[in-house]
Structure 1
Amino acid sequence: MDERFKPRVLLVDDEESILNSLRRLLRGQPYEVLLASTGAQALEIMGRQPVDLVMTDARMPNMDGATLLAHIHERHPDTVRILLTGYADLSIIIKAINEGQVHRYISKPWSDEEMLLTLRQSLAHQHSDRERLRLVQLVWDQNEQLKQLNASLEKHVAARTAELQQTADMLDLAYEELKHSYVTGTEVFSLLANLRLPAAKQTNRQIIDLVRIYSQTHGLDEASSRDLTMAAALYNIGKLSWTDSMMTAPSDLLHHTERELYRGYPKQSESLLMTLEPMKDAARLILHHQERWDGSGFPDHLKGEAIPLGARLLKLAVDFVELQRGLILERHMNSDEALLFIRKYSGRLYDPELVEDFVQVCATYLRDITLGDPTVKVLTTRDLVAGMVLARNLNADNGMLLLNAGKVLNGPLVEKLIAFEAMEGAKYSVFVHVPEEPEAAVVFSW
């Protein structure tokens, strides 16, 4: 962005305290800041002078934020439009996206650092788009000159053609930067959406990292990788209208009404994103990421390879992370247990051709996974042998720590584990290092 150009930012809110807080936050930033307390006042200001970015509160008397953004979209389509709200009001969000073509959505209370990042990226995106249009016009103008000079100035045409190629390369670069800015924007938005969840329940960052690693190691093309990353960032945007308790509850324990709402979140997420042209392919992956390989998933009961490849990959990453966060089953699994669960349901929930590749990616790139170690075995308590060493902590189903990693097993300890397992009515998966000389070990049988 040209440092000599100072973007003009208009802040709209009917609460003076909010406007004052935003004005203090933007003090010292390279923006010209304008303030309005009503939608009508904001439109009057924009009628007198150009405005680069408008950030408006959603709930205001007479004219709400979504209606204001719809007017601005109609009269000043080049202006960046951001919705600021303290309400999880899905109807206002949908109206702002569909009618106001809102670029971003920020929740109250906001993080100052994320607010500044959002404004900076939004204006950079606008600047990139303006530059692209300028270059398109430049190409058109040069084309007209080439037509006029074609008859008598062959050498000049050759020179202009070279310039045109250079301009086309610049256009390609600008467009690539624009697409990259969408990926960045979705990741920023996912971080904002995660603010509704406690840290222990947040998933998007880990899922984004997983699909990126998979894409890099398996040679996915740039477009597929970009779509998969954006889908990972926003796969759960349709949950924003849920209650806090439902957002943190295991899906396996939801009652009938909540379960129906849960099964609708992929479609809700897709609907919110389909109006954004660069998001259409990512939205399709989000729509189908809860389909199952055997056809028992939702929303469309797709089966096998009828499920888009990216959606199959996204389901693996989502379930792997959500199993560890307690968002699928009541018990929080560790990473190895989550991978065992995925292996168990290969061919039913997951594409069997992708499961082992996914397990190997996790074992190679995530530090807390032991399945990639050939000396580590997963055994039941009755298969344990004295002398074996725990490869990772053993927890009861209620989360209580039973034994630490590194513990050397002996006969009495194994007997106690079997007795405790029977008392709980559980079935433990025990990760152990197999002794180098198992023939010298003592085997206990009951």
Structure 2
Amino acid sequence: MEEPVADKPVVLLVDDETSILNSLRRLLRNQPYEVLLAESGAQALEVLEQRPVSLVISDARMPNMDGATLLAHIHQRFPATLRILLTGYADMDTIAKAINDGQIHRYISKPWNDEELLVTLRQALAYQHSESERRRLEQLAQTQNQQLKALNASLEQRVAARTAELQQTADMLDLAYEELKRSYVTGTEVFSLLANLRLPKAKQTNRQVIELIRVCCTRHRLDEGRSRDLTMAAALYNIGKMSWSDSMLTCPADLLPHTERDLYRAYPKHSESLVMTLEPMKEAARIILHHQERWDGSGFPGRLKGEAIPQDARWLKLAVDFIELQRGLILERQMNSDEALVYIRRYAGKLYDPGLVEDFVKVCAEFLSDVTLADPTVKVLSTRDLAGGMVLARNLNADNGMLLLNAGKVLSAALVDKLIAFEEMEGGKYSVFVKAPEELVLPAVAQTTA
């Protein structure tokens, strides 16, 4: 049966003597209890079957069913109802039975003290109320814990589902961003080709610089992000030149008048400022800004020196200078690829990172079929180091571009003397690419020495 829930505690008095019941009822008349009476154990059980009772006070000695037996039944059938035994001093066996079988809360001796009895009742009912409240709170806590567990499980499922959705969205955004960055690479290359239309075909550089940088990236197994940044930098490194006059665009850097030198030295900064606002191009912009720095610190715009120059900017400078030397945009004379590499070797440690130069020569040999400098049988000599029997590996041009000798020409001692004389007359200095097998070089050297 459920615990008593009445507004006032219900107290059931059980005794076979009417006078005792009346006496107890009078004692409890002014107390905040609802008082019920029963004259036997059987009648008391009937009352309990009909309604909840907070506390039972039963006399120990009653016919048919004594108090201990009644309280034992109540303990089994109505355990929430408190049980108090009213007994005489000689009823110790009954008391023991009530304690053991009925699990009574207290026992009160006859004759009782009214005040002590009232205190006992108040304490018993207060204890019952606290226990009832404790059980209610425990049940509430269990219910709330179960609801919380269910809520947590549901929340975890929703969080997991939402996390999966967010991850899927993030993955899609990453793919979209990667595609956007790849689109930027394509876009920069297209734009560089459009910008190059301002230049004569013989002076256009961007396509070759891009392709050379791609070979560098592949050879050194650079990751996708770094390769992309370098490629975009190669495409737009000279976009800051587009505001120049046509004559300045095609003029070799070493022939620019003094009034235009400051504008020339400002072009990396102008190029950087045009692309740095685009988020995917921030690193490319940094490479562009520093691609004209020099290893010895004499470059521009920051006069950075050595390792302070970003490595990718050092690679870009090698590629840009290699192509621009061949287009006549640095020196007056247009060089061939081998001559450009000789120039780069000559200025390793001054203009270029000495640790990258030889590797760059190998990259160029892979990139261009006409590079012979990587061939160990090809030597680059001055005219005074030439000897009869050597074979030209490349065409030999004068500083003004005039063809002097074709590749494949076998040099004689007389021809070497003529080259020396022509060089002195022009005031130039030629770099001659020759193949010099030992069987050809040694006799010629011996003859010259003789």
The alpha carbon displacement at 1:364 in A equals 2.6
Q: Show the counterpart of 1:20.
A: none
Query: Counterparts of 1:31-430 in structure 2 under 5 Å?
Result: 151-152=153-154, 161-162=163-164, 164-430=166-432
| 1:266–1:289 CA contact under 8 A, matched in 2 | yes
Q: Which runs of 5+ in 1 are unaligned?
A: 1-147
Measure the CA separation in 2 of the matches of 1:150 and 1:341.
72
Measure the CA separation in 2 of the matches of 1:177 and 1:300.
34
Give the letter for the 1:439 counterpart.
L
Measure the CA separation in 1 of the matches of 2:437 and 2:225.
47
SS of the residue corresponding to residue 283 of structure 2 reads: helix
Measure the CA separation in 2 of the matches of 1:267 and 1:158.
49
Give the letter for the 1:444 counterpart.
T
Q: Show the counterpart of 2:448.
A: 444
Q: Show the counterpart of 1:5.
A: none
Give the letter for the 2:419 counterpart.
L
The alpha carbon displacement at 1:302 in A equals 0.9
Q: 1:166-186 deviations in whole A, cap 9, x for unaligned?
A: 443322211110110111111
Measure the CA separation in 2 of the matches of 1:308 and 1:385.
43
In 2 relative to 1, CA 150–235 (structure 1 residues): closer, same or farther, beyond 3 Å? farther
Measure the CA separation in 2 of the matches of 1:417 and 1:444.
16
In 2 relative to 1, CA 150–360 (structure 1 residues): closer, same or farther, beyond 3 Å? farther
Measure the CA separation in 1 of the matches of 2:266 and 2:362.
32
Q: Show the counterpart of 2:436.
A: 434
Greater Rg over alpha carbons, structure = 2
Measure the CA separation in 2 of the matches of 1:418 and 1:313.
36
The alpha carbon displacement at 1:263 in A equals 0.8
Give the letter for the 2:448 counterpart.
F
| 2:212–2:367 CA contact under 8 A, matched in 1 | no
Q: Give TM-score scaled by structure 2 length.
A: 0.63
The alpha carbon displacement at 1:155 in A equals 5.9
| 1:377–1:431 CA contact under 8 A, matched in 2 | yes
| 1:364–1:372 CA contact under 8 A, matched in 2 | no
Between 1:405-414 and 1:315-324, the stretch displaced more is: 405-414
Q: 1:252-283 deviations in whole A, cap 9, x for unaligned?
A: 01111111110111111111112212112111
The alpha carbon displacement at 1:157 in A equals 6.1
Between 1:351-360 and 1:398-407, the stretch displaced more is: 351-360
SS of the residue corresponding to residue 196 of structure 1 reads: coil
Measure the CA separation in 2 of the matches of 1:270 and 1:162.
40
Measure the CA separation in 2 of the matches of 1:390 and 1:346.
25
Question: Percent identity over the alignment?
Answer: 78
Q: Give TM-score scaled by structure 1 length.
A: 0.64
Q: Which runs of 5+ in 2 are unaligned?
A: 1-149
Measure the CA separation in 2 of the matches of 1:149 and 1:237.
60
Q: 1:337-362 deviations in whole A, cap 9, x for unaligned?
A: 11111111111111111111111111
| RMSD, aligned CA | 2.0
| 1:387–1:435 CA contact under 8 A, matched in 2 | no
